[in-house]
């Protein structure tokens, strides 16, 4: 899938009506509005769902990076083999936790069923080298962020 800013001549202008919350998007090619054609059917629904998954994964990546930024000052004081850090500054720790849980939740959302999205990634969609770490974070999500687990 192409990112919105990957084609220089294409500009996407989203708009939300402040009174109604209605959303519209204008597509411009070289500053000329392009007519919209609504696509329907199973393939269009799947592509739409995969686009939502892509956005969720991009958000998850940004939020986990932000969590790492928040803990980086205290983590830098530790040796490289240390995997756990006890953050002394509560505000940063709480914010890092919030960003991490948000990222973890949105990552896992891509691999769980959502009726409105009509698309879902499977563990087998991942390259073999990513499956163990995927399992680790999905287990983390189930037991830490989503359910009262271990």
Cα–Cα nearest to 34, from 42, 26, 24: 26
pTM for the whole structure: 0.75
Measured distance CA(26)–CA(47) in Å, rounded: 19
User: Please, how many CA atoms are within 13 Å of residue 108, restricted to the half-sphere of its CB?
Assistant: 19
Alpha helices in 18-146 (DSSP H): 42-76, 90-109, 128-140
Q: Is the dihedral of CA 124, 126, 132, 133 positive or negative?
A: negative
Determine contact, residues 88/15, Cβ cutoff 8 Å: no
Instruction: Tell me what pLDDT residue 118 has.
Output: 83
Count how many Cα atoms sit within 13 Å of the Cα of residue 148 in the half-sphere of its side chain: 0
Tens of pLDDT, residues 81-122: 766 777 778 888 899 999 999 999 999 999 988 778 888 999
Q: Low-confidence residues of the chain, pLDDT below 50?
A: none
Query: What confidence score (pLDDT) does residue 84 get?
Result: 72
């Amino acid at each position: 899938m192409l990112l919105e800013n990957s084609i220089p001549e294409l500009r996407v202008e989203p708009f939300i009506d402040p009174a109604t919350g209605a959303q519209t998007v204008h597509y411009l090619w070289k500053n000329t509005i392009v007519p919209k054609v609504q696509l329907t059917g199973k393939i269009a629904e799947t592509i739409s769902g995969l686009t939502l998954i892509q956005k969720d994964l991009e958000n998850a990546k940004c939020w986990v990076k932000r969590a790492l930024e928040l803990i980086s000052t205290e983590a830098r004081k530790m040796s490289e083999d240390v995997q756990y850090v006890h953050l002394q500054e509560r505000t940063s720790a709480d914010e890092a936790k919030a960003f991490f849980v948000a990222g973890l939740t949105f990552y896992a959302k891509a691999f769980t069923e959502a009726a409105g999205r009509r698309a879902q990634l499977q563990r087998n969609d991942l390259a073999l080298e990513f499956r163990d770490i995927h399992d680790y974070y999905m287990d983390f999500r189930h037991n830490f962020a989503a359910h009262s687990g271990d």
